[in-house]
Amino acid sequence: MTTPAVGAGPSCTAGLGALLSVVISGTVRESLLPSVAVGDTLSISFLAEPKALVREVPGQGIVTDGIAPYKVCPEEFEVSTSSGFSAHYTVPPVVPPLPGVEPDPNAGALWFSMLSARSVHDGVYLSTDLANAAMGVPLGVHTSDPKTIFGGAFDVTFARHSLPNGSGHGVPITGAIGEFDAGVSVAASLKVWKDWAAHVVINADFDKMTISKTTPIAIREDL
């Protein structure tokens, strides 16, 4: 993969075992970028940790809302098209903790959240907010105007029982190794926007999602 944008979020945790490679691909249906043609392949590719973040609310216990958030390794995240367009995750501004409060080790992280029967369908999305797909992904794109901002909305809904059930804890990603095509998708949003969220410059139809094993060696160590 190419060099990621400066300021990517926290790296994956070492020692959790083999990372998972995820590729979500689609076919460009609409494009406002001269360099990206209708019919191009759009790919969102990244590595993710094999264990979901365990969320616990003090006094209430472990959260079992059907969402399993997996930390994305920011160094390896890339949005690309077959015509050569490329974008990477760029960390949003992080609010510093209050005095006396321990900093959040996951501040600025990007999450790949997998849903099981929530509330009816299964699904996956990428977001800076592990429980809110609408927050999306801030993207870094090399342009002649440094003030130009980009972002992405990558959210796929699958038919119920398309993904393995985690009994209230979302989908176990290691149990979802394989390929999931458009035949089991109910709805999808694969969009790249420019300047503001409603200004979509790339809109693609979902084709497939592939999850496979890889190794921690794949993480870049020179960044």
Mean pLDDT split into 10-residue runs, the chain, 223 residues: 53 81 98 96 97 79 82 95 96 83 86 89 95 95 85 97 78 94 97 97 98 66 45
Nearest to 171 by CA among 210, 114, 123, 213: 114
Residue 17: predicted pLDDT: 74
* DSSP code string of 77-104: EEEEETTS-EEEE-PPP-PPPPTTPPPP
Check: CB of residue 106 under 8 Å from CB of residue 131.
no
pLDDT at residue number 26 = 98
pTM of structure: 0.87
- pLDDT for res 107: 87
185-194 and 150-158 strand pairing: antiparallel
pLDDT the model gives residue 21: 96
The pLDDT assigned to 215 comes to 59
- The DSSP code sequence of 108-169 is T--EEEEESSSSSSEEEEEESSTT-GGG-EEEE---S-TT--EEEEEEEEE-TTSS---TTS
Cβ neighbours of 18 (radius 10 Å):
16
Distances (CA, A) of 111 to 13, 128, 129, 199, 203: 13, 6, 7, 23, 21
pLDDT at 219: 46
